Amino acid sequence: MNPSHTKAYTWVPSLYLGEALPYSAVMLISVIMFKELGLTDGQITVYTGWLGLPWVIKPIWSPIVDNLKTKRWWIVSMQFLMGIALALVAFTLPTDFWLQGSLAVFMLIAFASATHDISADGFYIIGLPDKEQELYVGVRNTFYRIGMVIGQGGLVLLAGYMQQGVFGESVQSLSASWMAVFLILGVLMFLLGLYHAFILPKVETVVHDRFDFKEQLREFGRTLQVFVTKPHLVSALCFILLFRLPEGLLTKIVPLFLTRSAAEGGLAMSDVDFGLIYGTLGVIGLLLGGVLGGWAVSRWGLKKCLWPLVLCITLPDMVYVYLSYFPSAELWLVGLCVCIEQIGYGLGFAAYTLFLVHFSRGERSTAVFSICTAGQYLGGVMLPGMVSGLISESIGYQNFFWLIMAFCLVTFTVTAFVKIEGK
């Protein structure tokens, strides 16, 4: 097989699966693990919120990725590095400094993952023509979310089974089960690195072997100049920063709400039940939402699909208001609620991602896209995620979910003012 003619379906799904798994480990699996090891909601969201910093500041070193080696080289190298680091997390857990040690390694993984994101997103833009980018946006988002579901669903499910059967219920059993989870994650990332070393097409002809720091500072300045001269910059920035605000507040709290005890206001789900729901109905919802969202935008255009997809990403959050008032032990009902919310997320996030791609096209598209995704993480993941636990502890889960619905008005407002060129 000539790698320069590799079909997109052989590498787009696996590339975004590889982008999601380390992010899932750092930002999602760690939430459940830290909860089981005794941390409060506020501690969990603050600690894991800080781990999102590399995704916010990644534009600072994106010129290095653009101008040293190739994006293909960076993708494969970071996947091998993250495979080793994920396995290293496992060896920190039995120690007396497990919290400090795991957080330090998680931060290393976060920096490697952010670097991988820069190269992967740039590779997607230069490796596919515009029409295929629109066609595959649903596929890439779906497999990105599937990667997170594998972590937050399948691997959490595995940890739960191990705790119930193999290792018993002691504190040592908790550490041992999570050690196994991170060893498995490390192996998966290493195998993805091997796969992409052979399968990724060679779409770049220039390989840079030297790095000039002063020149890269000038390059970064030129990139900022390109970014700030983009048309309709103010409305685009508001859209990029605030569109995901409700989701950013919700993401870390949902697994805590589902697994906290009834006395704490949660649904008291076990890791097995939680993992089962996210690993089955969550996947089904994501497949439907992500693929349908990408197909709809490809067929009718972003401008026509924007408002319907915005409603899809916001209104289904109401299911958690319902569950907080009517907690149920029926897994099918909780699973249905999660599935509805995930379908809506897949639909809406397809439109959001394609807006970032459209906005970034033109001069220095890779570097501009990295600035856009940095803004996305700052306003839609890191800052709201850090405060979400403190808010939920202060006002309770019921009031917190009503607050999420109120913040959906922010998403509606920034959507009303954003400008989209073309159809």
Token look-up 């501690």 returns 43
Write out pLDDT tens, residues 195-218: 999 988 887 766 666 666 777 778
Banded pLDDT at 173 (limits 50, 70, 90): low
Mean residue pLDDT across the chain = 85
* pLDDT tens, position by position, 386-410: 999 999 999 999 999 999 999 999 9
Q: What's the pLDDT tens digit per position in 16-49?
A: 999 999 998 998 889 889 998 889 999 999 999 8
**Residue 169 located in a structural domain:** yes
Distances (CA, A) of 127 to 115, 143, 200: 18, 18, 10
Domain-embedded: residue 256: yes
CATH code assigned at 251: 1.20.1250.20
In 3D, which of 56, 55, 412, 58 has the Cα closest to residue 239? 412
172 domain-assigned? yes
Provide the pLDDT for residue 170: 45
Arithmetic mean of pLDDT, 216-244: 87
Does some domain include residue 49? yes
Which domain covers residue 140, as residue numbers?
8-200+224-417
pTM: 0.78
Does residue 216 form part of some domain?
A: no
The Cα–Cα gap between 165 and 151 comes to 20
Tokens read off for 175: 């550490």
Number of domains in the chain: 1
Residue 167 burial class via C-beta count within 10 angstroms: exposed 0-12, middle 13-18, buried 19 and up: middle
Do the Cβ atoms of 78 and 54 come closer than 8 Å? no
**Residue 334: which of 349, 346, 324 has the closest Cα?**
324
Mean pLDDT of 211-234: 81
Q: What is residue 403's predicted lDDT score, i.e. its pLDDT?
A: 96
91 inside domain: yes
* Res 175 pLDDT > 70: yes
pLDDT digits 0-9 by tens, 243-260: 999 988 998 899 899 989
Query: Rounded to the nearest 5 degrees, what angle is found at the Cα of 27, between the Cα atoms of 24 and 31?
Result: 105
Mean pLDDT calculated for residue range 322-348: 89
Tell me, yes or no, whether 187 lies in a domain.
Answer: yes
328 in any annotated domain: yes
